[in-house]
Structure 1
Amino acid sequence: MQVLGGIMRSKTSRDDWLSIQESEIWKLPKAEDKIMLVLKLSFDNLKSPPLKQCFAYCSLLRKDFEIERDNLIQLWMAQGLLQPSTDKIHHEIEDTGDEYFSILLKNSLFQEVTEGGSITKYTMHDLVHDLAEEVSKSESLTRDLKDKCGVRHVAHIPTSTLANMSEVTVGRLHSLFSNDQVPDIIFSKFRALRVLSLQEAKIQELSNSFGKMKHLRYLDISYTGIKALPKSIGKLYNLQTLRMQETDYLKEVPREMQNLINLRHLYFDKTMEFPAGLLRGLTNLRTLSYFNVGKEMGVGIEELVGLNHLKGELIIRNLENIRDEEEAKKAKLEDKKNVLELSYVWARSRSNPEGLESRPSSDFHDENVLEGLKPHTKLESLSIENFMGDKFPSWMMRNPLPLNNLKKVLLFGCRRCEGLPILGHLPGLGHVEISGMHNLKLLGSEFYGYNHVYEAAVATREKVLFPALKTLSIVGCGELTEWMEAPTTMTSSTSKVVVFPCLEELALGGCPLLRNAPSHFPSLKELWIWVMGSEKPMASICNEVSTLTSLYIEKIKGLTSLSSGMLKKNKNLTSLVIWSCDEMIHIAPNVFGCCANLRELTIGGCKKLEQLAEGLDTLPLLRS
């Protein structure tokens, strides 16, 4: 029915809807037959022949596959299945693939895999995959079947079957997906191959005939034991995508890779080393997993200067190898308008127990370096890790902050900084993480940005601080003593101030000196609070909140009991976890008339606990 819903959503005229209603599908006796015909109807509903080919190509992936959106688009691109748009300015071929994928997703031919991981992956229902196999069977070989003269794509068949194919058939292949050992003799015969996926293949080297695959556009050697790439990889002039992730033994690439002038997407592990000058010439790159700033001449930050087609996420590591602001400016990050997620990472070893962090700030160049790495103003995600400057650069501390499109801000291990950028006025900021800022003492007016808030409703003179923030994490800030309440009215007018209207998740931990926190969290659902030297911050946060569904408490000094009032107000609380609260005597006086939706209650390490709350046996939904 989900697939049928996808079809119906795409129909706009009365005749289209009547054609569904009058279909022969509804006369079929078996439910499985109905489902398959509904799926076939969904496939027939795809108006574009290239779009149908893109769907059919998915038959080459295993039935239980989970794949990233970009990976699948790159496979389609390698096969020439994407038709570039001629009527849109700055429209790239990957954008066409993105549109195709969205249509297939809308028609329920893909489904999102939601469990675990930060990267969204997609799969197909088994019956949808059966349909893909059915519509592609004339060109694809995915089982140990007899050699077919028309086959163009081969996936997951035994090596013996591949070795026994005729030279003519092998020479016509456009795709090979294999996690087995491919005989060397076969490589020299792949004259037309566009896609070669050896992901998880039990191989340690690539054939010397590798460079003969002149038409190859997509190569995946991830999760293999390959120790080195052959120099002949430099002859794959048409290669568009190279994936070599989780290749533990592959530490460097040959200089000949600089000849891959058509390479658009390059994925590798963060420890990978590149010869001097190699990346600078790959000016067609759209994707670069990491950029590691080297110490030697020719592998510095200036390698990024010509890579202005980069898009999506860029992680720049080993920034301690940049000497000063002028050197940092050579990257010209402001020119990389399509990089929307940017991470600046210094080595963690500089703040190790040997006392490097106690050295004077003049020993570090972090402030000047970050000043020179100014991004473009359309940036959506900013992450800074192990920064050892006393203050953030001017482009982060301007009043108001010019990075008006930011949706995510992550500040990890910035141990010396005492202040934060002004964030409260940013209209789209949805996620903030602050961790390991040991010098941060106060969250106040600068954090909120009192004088630069966006007016949510001019007519009612209402101003909103953090209007879109959904998740906030403040962890490991050992010197933080005060988190100020935002004002309810502006000092310069009678305007009403609304704070954190959308905040649903708050994590507050490892701040033993904190003595107060705000109390205005009108939408808070999940609260994690731990390692506090006082129960006052938790009491303040929970004082007015009535929307909690989950509460996690650990190592809160002075906490002897939860209040019945707090439990009664939060009628939708489903999970309550309490760990190592040494002064807790009982959970609450009683739970009569509250906690009706509580499903999980966990208590551990509370040494003075004398009794559980009265009425626990009356909770109707308590299961654990």
Structure 2
Amino acid sequence: IVTTRKEDVASTVQARSDQWHQPEKLENEECWSIIKERAVRDSPISHELEPIGKEIAEQCQGVPLVANVIGGLMNKIELSPSAWWEIQRNSIWGSPESVLEVESVLKLSFDRLSSPSLKKCLAYCAMFPKDYCFKKKELIQLWMAEGFLGSSMAMVDNGNKYLNELLSNSLFQDVKKDTCGNILTFKMHDSVHDFIFVCVKIDVFKKLSKSFTRLRVLKLVGAYYILELPYSLGELKHLRYLDISRTSIKALEALGFKDIHLSGSPNIAVLWFRDVHLSGWIGKFDKLEALELGSPNELRGEFEIRRLQCVRDKQEANGANLHLKENLCKLIFDFKGSDSDNSEEVMESLQPHSNLQSLAVSSYQGNSFPSWMLRSVGDSGLFLLNNLVELNFYDCHNCESLPPLSQLQQLQFLELRNLKKVKVATKVLMI
């Protein structure tokens, strides 16, 4: 099956014209339904606004993208006849007899974005291939690295705010969320990509030059043949995002960071790696936000800690200070490969913040779960994990009992796998 918006593409793949299926355009009432859902959500719509809204829906000429974008735009304006008439009478629609130019509608939405920085963030996304699946966390980190989100501690908050505005304007689509409702991935519509790439002239596309001295983002994912990087990398004063995942670099010494007084690279804010020795080096990146355990406490989103069997003792585990990371919504603890007898004290020292929404524990070797899973906090009577929506225990072979799951008032998703010694009690699960 081939899907395309262009007949010449269908001809190129030698599809027979009698096998073509051309979906009909939306009815005006269907466009109005889309606009109404995007523009007013659950708010009641007045008798004054409805006829104006239906006229706007008719002007969409049955194009779903236009209805979505216009609805998202109308969500940001006042719910008044004058504001809606301004949209209906805008020059983007042309004459009733003319064919609607989708690009003119996209330009109207783009022009009304809240800030120049937000426009740069959207334009940056057009540098990726069409149909690229953006990961929310990674994209915000890239925006940070490019300097689009300012330089304050509120950069991640600004990134989330910008992303939500772009989503509400239907400039991204195919949004996927986790079980807690947090956005994971999304894509840019082809027409939006074309419009941004061809029509929008923003400095983002003028930044490339023959010299890389102002390089901010460097991704080397999967380059297995790379054993080390040149010492000159430490001279890149503007580098903010470095990804060496799945390379053959085994220690940060290979990055050339032997001089702790390097003026540039310690400014790195996001560092991605796997199977790289960190001991003694992580503290040299003063502004690291994405992976440093001890600080800062702005670490947010999903955080996975593997090979916990390598943690020596509870003092080392305490250094993670997870109880201070109030913006973390998901934690994954993986003890796979562990045969040590310190699993319980390590787990006890990994107490998260009470805001945590999702927790997964794999291959834990302790006989019981940590006390922070079992007790209430303060005089409230609420359990530390009271905000937990999702809980997964995998291959915890030695545990003989479960935490009091009936006390987790927000819990919606529970998965227990290979807990061989646990005897599930009716009281625990509230069956």
Counterpart of 1:285?
288
Q: Distance in 2 between matches of 1:250 and 1:28?
A: 62
Aligned amino acid, residue 95 of structure 2: K
* Percent identity (aligned): 35
Counterpart of 2:277?
274
Where do residues 219-234 of structure 1 align in structure 2 (5 Å cutoff)? 219-227=218-226, 228-234=228-234
Moved more, 259-268 or 124-133: 259-268
How many residues of Structure 1 are paired with residues of Structure 2 in the alignment? 349
SS at match of 1:122: strand
Q: Distance in 1 between matches of 2:71 and 2:412?
A: 31
SS at match of 1:27: coil
How far residue 417 of structure 1 moved from its aligned partner, in angstroms, is 0.9
Where do residues 84-163 of structure 1 align in structure 2 (5 Å cutoff)? 92-114=154-176, 120-137=184-201, 139=203, 152-154=206-208
1:119–1:337: structure 2 CA closer, same or farther, 3 Å change rule? closer
Aligned amino acid, residue 229 of structure 2: L
Aligned amino acid, residue 386 of structure 1: S
Aligned amino acid, residue 435 of structure 1: R
Pair 1:45 & 2:112 matched: yes
Q: Distance in 2 between matches of 1:34 and 1:76?
A: 30
How far residue 439 of structure 1 moved from its aligned partner, in angstroms, is 0.6
Query: Which one of 289, 304, 311 corresponds to residue 300 of structure 2?
Result: 311
Pair 1:447 & 2:424 matched: no
Counterpart of 2:346?
369
SS at match of 2:164: helix
How far residue 69 of structure 1 moved from its aligned partner, in angstroms, is 2.2
Q: Distance in 2 between matches of 1:9 and 1:332?
A: 41
Moved more, 104-113 or 375-384: 375-384
Counterpart of 2:366?
389
Residues 360 and 391 in structure 2, CA contact (< 8 A), matched pair in contact too: yes
Q: Distance in 2 between matches of 1:115 and 1:427?
A: 22
Counterpart of 2:240?
240
SS at match of 1:120: strand
Q: Distance in 2 between matches of 1:41 and 1:262?
A: 38
Q: Distance in 2 between matches of 1:50 and 1:306?
A: 28
Q: Distance in 2 between matches of 1:28 and 1:84?
A: 48
Q: Distance in 2 between matches of 1:329 and 1:4?
A: 51
Aligned amino acid, residue 40 of structure 1: K
Residues 229 and 256 in structure 2, CA contact (< 8 A), matched pair in contact too: no
Counterpart of 2:391?
409
Q: Distance in 1 between matches of 2:325 and 2:236?
A: 27
CA RMSD of aligned residues (A): 3.0
Pair 1:11 & 2:73 matched: no
Aligned amino acid, residue 392 of structure 2: L
Q: Distance in 2 between matches of 1:140 and 1:397?
A: 51
Q: Distance in 1 between matches of 2:424 and 2:367?
A: 15
SS at match of 1:376: coil
In structure 2, list runs of 5 or more residues that go unmatched. Answer: 1-66, 377-381
Counterpart of 2:22?
none
Structure having greater relative contact order (Cα 8 Å, sep ≥ 6):
2
> TM-score, length-normalised on structure 2?
0.72
Pair 1:35 & 2:93 matched: no
Larger % of strand: which? 1
Q: Distance in 2 between matches of 1:74 and 1:82?
A: 10
Q: Distance in 1 between matches of 2:359 and 2:401?
A: 17
Where do residues 456-605 of structure 1 align in structure 2 (5 Å cutoff)? 485=431
SS at match of 2:120: helix
> TM-score, length-normalised on structure 1?
0.51
How far residue 340 of structure 1 moved from its aligned partner, in angstroms, is 3.1
Q: Distance in 1 between matches of 2:255 and 2:147?
A: 28
Deviations 1:60-118 (A, max 9, x none): 22223221123333333333333468xxxxx5112112211111111111113549999
Larger % of helix: which? 2
Residues 28 and 34 in structure 1, CA contact (< 8 A), matched pair in contact too: no
How far residue 306 of structure 1 moved from its aligned partner, in angstroms, is 4.2
In structure 1, list runs of 5 or more residues that go unmatched. Answer: 86-90, 142-151, 155-169, 171-185, 191-212, 289-302, 351-362, 449-484, 486-624
1:116–1:83: structure 2 CA closer, same or farther, 3 Å change rule? closer
Residues 54 and 76 in structure 1, CA contact (< 8 A), matched pair in contact too: yes
Q: Distance in 2 between matches of 1:319 and 1:121?
A: 28
Pair 1:71 & 2:71 matched: no
How far residue 30 of structure 1 moved from its aligned partner, in angstroms, is 5.0
1:306–1:84: structure 2 CA closer, same or farther, 3 Å change rule? closer
How far residue 119 of structure 1 moved from its aligned partner, in angstroms, is 7.7
Residues 302 and 328 in structure 2, CA contact (< 8 A), matched pair in contact too: yes
Counterpart of 2:88?
21
Pair 1:320 & 2:332 matched: no
SS at match of 1:428: coil
How far residue 278 of structure 1 moved from its aligned partner, in angstroms, is 0.8
SS at match of 1:10: coil
Where do residues 174-253 of structure 1 align in structure 2 (5 Å cutoff)? 186=210, 189-190=211-212, 213=213, 215-227=214-226, 228-245=228-245, 247-253=246-252
Aligned amino acid, residue 52 of structure 1: K
SS at match of 1:328: helix
Residues 60 and 140 in structure 1, CA contact (< 8 A), matched pair in contact too: no
SS at match of 2:266: coil
Residues 130 and 190 in structure 2, CA contact (< 8 A), matched pair in contact too: yes
Give 1 or 2 for the bigger CA radius of gyration. 1
Aligned amino acid, residue 338 of structure 1: N
Q: Distance in 2 between matches of 1:326 and 1:81?
A: 38
SS at match of 1:287: coil
Pair 1:262 & 2:326 matched: no
Counterpart of 2:149?
82
SS at match of 2:359: strand
Where do residues 410-449 of structure 1 align in structure 2 (5 Å cutoff)? 410-448=392-430
Counterpart of 2:60?
none
